[in-house]
Amino acid sequence: MHSLSQEIQSFSKDRLKKKCTLVTTVTGRRLLERRGDGGEGEEQVEELEEDGGCGFVEDKSLDLQVGVVRPFLLLASQDAAHDADTLQRHKVSHVLNVAYGVANLFPDQYVYKALPILDLPDTDITAYLGECSSFVDRAREKGGVVLVHCNAGVSRSTSIVIGYLMMREGLTFDEAYGQAKAARPSIRPNPGFHQQLRGYEP
């Protein structure tokens, strides 16, 4: 029976599998490190070409762009809602959080309403419009400014803002969508929300 030390001594590097490691550098370059049979000294590194956007790439840049849809109605991402300077600069008093799993960071400084809405095409977004619009109305009556946000400020919060303009101002979907997009160009309600709002009659 071999002792552990004898097994370790008799082990050969040749029995190790060749290893490839995918590395993404801080600058975003993607490298493939290959370690060959020859052990530690033999290492080959090649840069990978971008593959046309396949796969998931985490975007770590902050999105602090705030769309001013009305003087009292702002549209943004969770990044803006979590940035104290941005909130103060836009004189926000109320925050309508329609994201899922996103905390309200400043409960002592702002009036919050949180509705955890899933960004799925079959979610009934119109079911939330009355409650959300009432929150905006109450803030407006007090001279407040409401920031509406979800995670990215693209689908859920946009749909709520579009619905508000349709419900309270009598705009058509196209008019409301156009005004929201002018305020925040990155908006894109998911196909289900788009269809629901297009057919919505307050």
For residue 41, what pLDDT is reported? Answer: 43
**What integer pLDDT is reported at residue 99 of this predicted model?**
96
| Among 110, 145, 143, 114, residue whose Cα is nearest residue 128 | 114
The answer to whether 17 and 7 have CB atoms below 8 angstroms apart is: no
Banded pLDDT at 100 (limits 50, 70, 90): very high
Query: 46-97 pLDDT, tens per residue?
Result: 555 444 444 444 556 788 999 999 999 999 999 999 999 999 999 999 999 9
| CA dist., res. 181 & res. 187, Å (int) | 6
The pLDDT score that the predictor gives to residue 64 is 92
Are 103 and 97 contacting, i.e. CB atoms less than 8 angstroms apart?
A: no
Q: Does the pLDDT value for residue 201 go beyond 70?
A: yes
What are the tokens at 183?
A: 């305020």
When pLDDT is averaged across residues 150-170 and rounded to a whole number, the result is 97
| Strands of 98-142, DSSP E | 111-114
What domains, with CATH codes, occur in the chain? 15-47 (no CATH), 67-198 (3.90.190.10)
pLDDT recorded at residue 61: 76
Catalytic status, residue 150: yes
Write down the pLDDT at residue 84: 96
Checking DSSP bridges between strand 94-97 and strand 146-149, what pairing results, if any? parallel
Instruction: Please identify which residue in the block is written with the tokens 């058509």.
Output: 172
pLDDT of 35 > 90? The answer is no
Q: Which two structure tokens, joined as six digits, stand for 181?
A: 């997009």
**What CA–CA distance (Å, rounded) separates 73 from 148?**
7
Which residue in the list 20, 54, 132, 150 is annotated as catalytic?
Answer: 150
